[in-house]
Amino acid sequence: MSDGVALQTLFADVCRTLAGAGFDVTSARAEEGVGLRVRQESDAVTVSWVPAQELDPARRVDAEYAGIRAALRQALLETLTQAGFQVKADPSKGEVRVRPAP
């Protein structure tokens, strides 16, 4: 299987796993909007989160949602690791990187 096909398969598997665990992945492929973002990179699939404005009606520029991000990151790590993926969090970018299990 070529690397491109393998990444497409990994992307589909990650989306299916997250949906099966109850995560809303309807916006996963969207470039705009809110919610989970799942995207293919050159060597992995990356999962990140974009919050809705409803979480901060005042629309503060400095709203970081650290607690929500930490909880979501942990839930993603647990869910994807239990599904057999190789997973690594990058808190500085607010992302979780997913690779196929070795």
pLDDT for 17 equals: 96
The helix (run of H) or strand (run of E) holding residue 70 is helix 66-82
Digit-coded pLDDT (tens) for 64-101: 788 888 999 999 999 999 999 999 999 888 899 999 87
* Mean pLDDT (whole number) for 36-56: 85
Digit-coded pLDDT (tens) for 32-45: 777 888 988 888 99
pLDDT for 28 equals: 61
pTM of the model: 0.84
Q: Whole-angstrom Cα distance, residue 88 to residue 83?
A: 14
61, pLDDT greater than 70: no
